[in-house]
């Protein structure tokens, strides 16, 4: 899929919907998936947001549990900061998509492209 060259011809409406997919993770990803129609661009970003939210959520949970076990519970105070870092990363993705630039999560983008966007 030639996203970088195709991104230049995206309408503002399509870029806005693609960016919205990342704002609240899987929740807005599902909404964009439902309203996106047949657009491969919107399907890609909606699925990347949904799968990315789930995978990153599981990883953050595991990291939080490990930190909490190692520090006898005190490390659990780091959990909100990990969540904030993930949200900032997703907002960065929204910014990139709305700017018309290509945003692909490492490792995940190829999986989403092959499995969900046809």
User: Is 2 inside any structural domain?
Assistant: no
- Residue appearing with tokens 């195709």: 6
Q: How far is CA 85 from the centre of its chain?
A: 13
Task: Provide CB contacts within 8 A for 88, sequence distance 6+.
Answer: none
Handedness of CA 91, 63, 46, 4 (dihedral sign): positive
pLDDT tens digits for range 82-110: 999 999 999 999 999 999 999 999 999 99
Average pLDDT, the chain: 90
User: Is 43 inside any structural domain?
Assistant: yes
User: Is 64 inside any structural domain?
Assistant: yes
pLDDT tens digits for range 47-64: 999 999 999 999 999 998
Host domain of residue 40: 11-102
% residues pLDDT > 90 (the chain): 73
User: Is 20 inside any structural domain?
Assistant: yes
pLDDT tens digits for range 26-48: 999 999 999 988 999 999 999 99
User: Is 86 inside any structural domain?
Assistant: yes
pTM over cut 0.75: yes
pLDDT at residue number 8: 54
User: Is residue 100 within 8 Å of 7, Cβ to Cβ?
Assistant: yes
Question: How many separate domains does the chain show?
Answer: 1
User: Is 114 inside any structural domain?
Assistant: no
């Amino acid at each position: 899929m030639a996203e970088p060259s195709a991104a230049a011809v995206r309408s503002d409406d399509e870029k806005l919907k693609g960016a919205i997919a990342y704002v609240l993770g899987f929740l807005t990803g599902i909404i964009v998936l439902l309203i996106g129609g047949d657009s491969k661009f919107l399907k890609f970003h909606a699925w990347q947001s949904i799968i990315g939210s789930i995978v990153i959520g599981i990883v953050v949970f595991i990291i939080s549990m490990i930190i909490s076990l190692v520090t006898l519970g005190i490390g659990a105070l780091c959990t909100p900061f990990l969540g904030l870092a993930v949200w900032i990363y997703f907002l960065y993705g929204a910014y990139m998509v709305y700017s018309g630039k290509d945003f692909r999560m490492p490792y995940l983008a190829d999986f989403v492209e092959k499995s969900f966007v046809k």
